[in-house]
Structure 1
């Protein structure tokens, strides 16, 4: 049964009643008396004990109400360590003179303020140098698009001050605690089996920035496993070719985070990775009251609905959408023209875009 501690007022009232009973009084204590002061003091101390017990009750089984440290410690014990932030890495092209050399550890900056270090540079060829670069700080803010411009902090003779990004990706923030909790629950519900379908899902989500994955048996005939995944924390949740290769390599062979033993797909099984198509859904919603807070609450509810129920070939019920909007914090009433369930094909993933707010 759930632990429901008494309120401070209830504790004080109970202690006052006990004092009255012990003193043989048939009525309540006088409004002003030493016994009431004692009851308040003891009640406050008792409430502190109940608060501690309530906190302990929430730490026994990791849930969304548990402390972050509790979830992180239990997850590490179960072999699901929290994914640490990763630095973005890639290559950039410099325009140079024939004899120029780009010093290692040269610093470049991007328009968003991110800084990068040169870790390797080729010799000049066709008036160009291709340099390997790495972000100074870990996080997805270090990811840039191809053809973005980087600028040298300190000019180098014979080298143009600006470089063009070829690839710069792989940066990831520390794993949100909610994502870690989901992976912990999955580990407890689906223990490792050395190559079962759920193992492929677990292995994929151990890769930085990968948040959801789906595996299918006999995807292209016997001895094949189909696997697809998304990266919800990125601007584009569909993975890049580099991320797909990273997941494929990880599933082939990697060190188990809990034991350090080499694990991976069983011999004779081929993993076929494929990319989903996005099925965007934009709802037209009228809110009462219509404020920035209620809009944000609705978006959060729809995002959680998507994370829980959207998968390839899935159906999100109309009632689930209505419940998500109607139970958003602060929403008293709403209207939306959506009149049927939302259905995706076997290679589609439902995503809720920013709603169209109707005033």
Structure 2
């Protein structure tokens, strides 16, 4: 934020300007020109400050700190989404009756640290194994860990094997601090849809208040009269389709935030991979990559489990696919061999990139 200059600071600026402007003998005998230039410099700075103030009024043009401290605080109840720590369960093994205290730390192969949330004691008899709840020490999407991964105890614990196996669905829910671009978009949407009363757009906005949630689609009456279904994805995760724990987190948030007059259902969309067969001219690795990026952008833009605010399934016209390929940098001509017709998805299906076969 640009600080307002004090009267003394402005006076010193003018004095310095006068000293520079009267450096030559002719100007020492003419005070009008240096005085005018000195005052012009001061006034020019004031106009610049007024221009900066004008830009801060609208969230589309304001500085980042103004967006966070002013606009987000006004339009978003919880402000900027903070980073969230990944959590989940792992399997500990060892000797019968061996305790694993809360707070013990484990390390992933890349150095990421996790802590035991609740201490456990392995069973008295039978297989000496127990399920342990873990949380990533450092919040962020980097803490998300696939099931089957091995975590090693930082400090040995008597009776506990040194490695724990991450259980399905993995350690999830980790999210980075919301980016400025995402925050700016949410503020603009909140301004546009001011007066949240439970419209479809409001439910989508509420879902995106959960750290890590990037896109959401509300479907009123999806499961009967008085119900609201909210599909969502997490584009920043290795797998954007949310798991059960992430769905539960959005469900809890919607029940606390949304209107209390609906049966609320937070839902993970069903992945619908779309395969392509393309004959490309010219056919080079760079142009193939450009076409791949263009098709991924199309599916991200037009793919949805439902049309927002309805229970209508989504169709992506084949003509949109050919248009997207034609717009790829370097493409001169192409033949889209598959799909041969429009992409028709069912309710709840989300079109995502499959495989591309180059002919």
Cα distance 1:298–1:252, how it changes in 2: closer, same or farther (>3 A)? same
Contact 2:101–2:120 (CA under 8 A) maintained in structure 1 = no
Measured after TM superposition, the shift of residue 96 of structure 1 is 2.5
CA gap 1:243/1:59 in 2 versus in 1, 3 angstroms: same
- Mapping of 1:260-275 within 5 angstroms? 263-266=257-260, 268-275=261-268
In 2, the alpha carbon distance for the partners of 1:149 and 1:102 equals 17
State the superposition RMSD in angstroms.
3.3
- Equivalent position to 2:293, from 300, 312, 323: 300
User: What corresponds to 1:353 in structure 2?
Assistant: 354
Match of 1:120 in 2: 118
> Which residue of 276, 284, 287 corresponds with 2:277?
284
The 8 Å contact of residues 243 and 268 in structure 2, kept in 1 or not, is answered as no
Q: Normalising to structure 1: TM-score of the pair?
A: 0.70
Displacement of 1:202 after TM fit? 0.9
Alignment partners' CA distance in 2, 1:221 and 1:130:
38
Change (3 A) 1:331 1:183: farther
Secondary structure of the structure 1 residue equivalent to 2:121: coil
Please, which runs of 5 or more residues in structure 1 have no aligned partner?
Answer: 1-48, 254-262
Which aligned pairs between 1:52-67 and structure 2 lie closer than 5 A? none
TM normalised by structure 2 equals 0.70
Kept in 2: contact 1:96–1:129 (CA 8 A)? no
* 2:75 is aligned with 1:78: yes
1:234 to 227, 232, 237: 237
Counterpart for residue 89 of structure 2: 91
Give the aligned partner of residue 154 of structure 1: 155
**Mean CA deviation greater in 71-80 or 331-340:** 71-80
| 3-state DSSP of counterpart to 1:350 | strand
153, 170, 173: which is aligned to 2:173?
170
Bigger drift between 336-345 and 291-300 goes to 291-300
**1:196-253, CA deviations, whole angstroms, 9 ceiling, x for partnerless residues?**
2221111111112222222222233332222222222323332211111111110111
Residues 108 and 150 of structure 2 are in contact (CA less than 8 Å); yes or no, is this contact kept in structure 1? yes
For 1:77 and 1:344, how far apart are their aligned partners in 2?
A: 38
Q: Does 1:319 align with 2:313?
A: no
Q: Which moved more, 1:327-336 or 1:112-121?
A: 327-336
Corresponding residue SS for 2:134: strand
Q: Are the aligned partners of 2:122 and 2:129 in contact in 1 as well (CA < 8 Å)?
A: yes
Give the whole-Å Cα distance in 1 for the aligned partners of 2:63 and 2:285.
Answer: 29
- CA offset at residue 349 of structure 1? 1.7
**Contact 1:215–1:226 (Cα < 8 Å) also in 2:** yes
Check conservation: 2:241, 2:268, Cα contact below 8 A: yes
Aligned residues of 2:92 and 2:161 also touching (Cα < 8 A): yes
| Structure 2 partner of 1:110 | 108
CA separation of 1:300 and 1:197: change in aligned 2, threshold 3 A: same
The answer to which of 196-205 and 103-112 deviates more is: 103-112
